[in-house]
Amino acid sequence: MDEVAGELKQALPNVCDSIQVHVEVLQKSNSAAKKEDIRMSVLKLLNRHNIVFGDYKWTEFDDGFLNNNVQSVSIVDTDLKLKDRQPIDLSKGSLSLHIFQLNEEGPSSENLEEENEDIIAANHWVLPAAEFHGLWESLIYETEVKSHLLDYVTTTLLFSDKNVDSNLISWNRVVLLHGPPGTGKTSLCKALAQKLTIRLSYRYRYGQLIEINSHSLFSKWFSESGKLVTKMFQKIQELIDDKDALVFVLIDEVESLTAARSAFKAGTEPSDAIRVVNAVLTQIDQIKRYPNVVILTTSNITEKIDMAFVDRADIKQYIGPPSTAAIFRIYLSCLEELMKCQIIYPRQQLLTLRELEMIGFVENNVSRLSLVLKEISRRSEGLSGRVLRKLPFLAHALYIQSPSVTMPTFLQALSLAVDKQFEERSKLADCV
Amino acid sequence: MHTPSLTAGTRLLPTRHGACAAGNRGGRAFPYFHAAPRQRPFKSQLSADQQMASCGAAAALVSPATSPLLPEAPPGLKRSGRVMSRRSELMVACPVVSVVFPGAVTRESCCLFACELLKHVMYQRHQLPLPYEQLAYFWRRAAKDGDGMKKPPPMDPASKKCQQVLMELEGVFQHLEVMFRLTLVPRVLILLGGNVMRPKEFYELNLEGILEGSAEESLKTASCVRKLFHSLFVADVFSELKALPAMGTVVMLQGHRNCGVDWFRPKLNYKVPTQGRKLTVNLSCDGDINISALPAQNVTSDWEDYVWFQAPVTLKGFHE
């Protein structure tokens, strides 16, 4: 294996060797081994495999110590920095090892009003959480959305570290993701929080993700809503006070909290709502002084958001429906999962879009199925990520209903499911 | 022995919402003062010694001066006035209760301290409607009654919750026993509400000062438990606290990295929270201790090998 890799290295002259390579090491939940011991063993492992092509994941090891203590060692996010899949020389690039364990308990809830126990104002996760493991990898965007977001937070931290005067250069730690429904904005926020907790584990012990239920911040009592917002942010403040924690505040559907104040002039909104907007804005200004907090927000209807809030967001990232290439990758990951679970049997090798491109889209025995999938992807354009992820399920439910199928049959069913999806959509449009 | 009268039971019954006779707002009467609680007709049929038997180790705590059956000495009266000033001080800073045992203690005793403290905290902080021993007793009794019938009675959600909590607690106790057998445990945490990093309130049992001895040269477990709970009672740490809603309780404890326990999950990054209401219970040993008892210096040298472990269950509190 090593010799082959070595030969390949000779054949491909531009081995990329000067990039930062991130290696995520997932320690088993029952392992109490020291981080340093694990680091040494993983470095030994990486030394033996010094050339990798893109992302790679080890789950089985020759080393008994690693077998006992480590779930997986993955080289991740090489595609964010490198356009093409190319060999990476691990011995030359700088390696950063991130060793982490997952927290298995689910979210805990935060109540605001003591006397009213039923209203849950926020869900609260300790990161890295088992629930969000693998979420980052499952989100596929064509442009550099992910690396953009990661770089943004890196810069934020750098500025905080160097004590850049925030009166001269201001940054707000607010990220706004907007776009049509079902494109994975909320998931991306959660995945980003998880990713950053792992990446920054050397300086923060753990992460906290607070997902605010915006509707619960509106009180039934007139003039109380603004106070509820303040109370919520007080709780967040308590979390931030722990310097060992990296705190992420996720406000989903932020337009409900920060509706444009101009609409109030029409008199259609109660004046209580305007106080909420004001309270949120002042609280955000309060929070931005702290280095260990990031506010993540999402919205479907950007034009409804107050301009003062939009101004405060450092990154306003549009998340659109996936392109054909992204759809292809989404389908590919779905099919891969179904083959792993042996619902599609026997296993078939599918080519990636790039591999298809390299052979010039010539149809042969190897590429036939992949070309069918590419055609399905092309026809699926316009569907959202949420719909795409459930299509394999619908295809099975509607057209297959047997415990195991072959790949060609499944692709046929998938194609029918896509057609049905568009049919349903046009019917809905007719009704309206 | 006489059967507790219903009037005494009513008077001593801790109330969750209102004030008790002596202005006991949120804290509960110690279970050991507890006569027969109301609303369960079959409880009043219990004779006192039955109850004591069901209370297991806790029964040993009842000292003659504070007999549960003396109606003229209700617990509430004892905690008025005199303690007030000190109590308010305690609430400002983190209250600390220190107990010094006059000799070495076995590891089994340490395990029992942790278990009893957990039971006590869960009852005092409104996560269990009755003291653990009583709940367990009534549950066993109900289960025995159910055997005779053709069909088990339909379970209402409350009794399902009760059964689950009891089973989980039972599990925690067993695993605590295993853990204490495997490793020295310097500290135990009982965390209520929120999450483990930021609980609403938490209780720390510090065993670092304990000198471990073998069964022959150590103090009797029962007397140590009595001393511990006496100190807790005198410090009066629970009565001023506001009633809590039902929430989750998590148990964490320190143990040796390589102790080989598999039920508890190691949390290498964990550190004791700095926020939230905290009560520390420091246990230590003093007096004429035979050097053959395990010297503590040996273990303190590699203190960093002691890491936090978390019980993989969250004990869900419930109200009746």
What is the pTM (predicted TM-score) of this model? Answer: 0.78
Is B265 in contact with A29 (Cβ distance < 8 A)? yes
| Full DSSP string of A171-221 | ---EEEEE-STTSSHHHHHHHHHHHHHHHTTTT-SEEEEEEE-GGGGS-SS
Nearest residue of B to residue A122, measured between CA atoms:
B194
Query: How confident is residue B51, by pLDDT bands cut at 50, 70 and 90?
Result: very low
Q: Is the model more confident about B32 or about B266?
A: B266
**Contact in structure between A94 and A66 (CB atoms under 8 Å):** no
Tokens coding B208: 């670092």
Residues of B in contact with A206 (CB under 8 A): 197, 269
**Per-residue pLDDT at A352:** 85
Least confident of B29-38, B58-67, B148-157: B58-67
pLDDT value, residue A217 = 77
**CA atoms within a 13 Å half-sphere pointing along the CA-CB vector of B10:** 5
Secondary structure E strands in chain B: 96-101, 187-192, 201-209, 248-256, 265-267, 277-285, 306-310, 315-316
Q: Would the CB atoms of A206 and B197 count as touching at under 8 Å?
A: yes
Phi, psi of A313 (to 5 degrees): -70, 125
In chain A, which residues have their Cβ closer than 8 Å to the Cβ of B262? 30
Q: For B177-202, how does the pLDDT look when each residue is reduced to its tens digit (9 = 90+)?
A: 999 999 999 999 999 988 888 888 99
A108 touches chain B (CB under 8 A): yes
Answer yes or no: do A30 and B248 touch at CB < 8 A. Answer: no
Residue A158 sits at φ, ψ, to 5 deg, of: -60, -45
Shortest CB distance from A206 goes to which of B194, B245, B269? B269
* Chain B nearest C-alpha distance from A153 (Å): 23
**A332: which 2 tokens?**
């590919």
Cβ neighbourhood burial of A366 (10 Å; 0-12, 13-18, 19+): middle
* Cα angle value B73/B4/B159 (rounded, 5°): 110
Q: Is there a contact between A230 and A279 (Cβ–Cβ < 8 Å)?
A: yes
CB atoms within 10 A of CB A169: 8
List CB contacts (< 8 A) between A241 and chain B. Answer: 275
pLDDT of residue B281: 94
CA distance linking residue A50 with residue A69, whole number of Å: 22
Give strand pairing partners of A299.
Answer: A178
* Locus of tokens 């005067």: A165
For B242, name the nearest residue in chain A, comparing CA atoms only. Answer: A114
Q: Which residue of B197, B257, B265 is in closest CB contact with A208?
A: B197
pLDDT value at position A156? 85
Give the nearest partner residue to B195 out of A31, A34, A124, using CB atoms: A124
Q: Which residues of chain A have a CB within 8 Å of the CB of B312?
A: 104
Give pLDDT, residue A16. Answer: 54
Is residue A82 a contact partner of residue A6, using CB atoms and an 8 Å limit?
A: no
| 8 Å CB contact between B318 and B242 | no
Position A222 scores a pLDDT of 76
CB contact under 8 A, B266 and A32: yes
- For all residues of chain B together, what is the average pLDDT? 73
Q: Say if the Cβ atoms of A101 and B267 lie within 8 Å.
A: yes
Given a cut of 50, the residues of chain A with pLDDT beneath it are: 1, 8-13
Say if the Cβ atoms of B194 and A35 lie within 8 Å. no
CA distance A94 to A51: 13
Report which of residues A409 and B18 the model is more confident about. Answer: A409
Whether B260 has a pLDDT exceeding 50, the answer reads yes
For residue A48, the Cα-to-chain-centroid distance in whole angstroms is 31
Contact flag A32-B258 (C-beta cutoff 8 Å): yes
Least confident of A205-209, A384-388, B73-77, B288-292: B73-77
Q: Which residues of A touch B267 (CB under 8 A)?
A: 101
> What's the pLDDT score for residue A221?
74
The pLDDT assigned to A328 comes to 92
The DSSP line for B103-135 is S-B-HHHHHHHHHHHHHHHHHHTTSSSS-HHHH
pLDDT given at position A163: 85
Report yes or no: A381 at the B interface, CB cutoff 8 Å: no
The pLDDT score that the predictor gives to residue B290 is: 54
Residue A267's pLDDT is 65
| A420 Cβ contact partners less than 8 Å away, ≥ 6 residues apart | A394, A398
Of the pLDDT bands very low, low, confident and very high (cuts 50, 70, 90), residue B79 is very low
Strand partners, A177: A298, A317
Across the A:B interface, residue pairs with CB atoms under 8 Å apart total 53
Please report the sign of the dihedral spanned by the C-alpha atoms of residue B143, residue B148, residue B151, residue B153. negative
Which pLDDT score is estimated for B45? 40
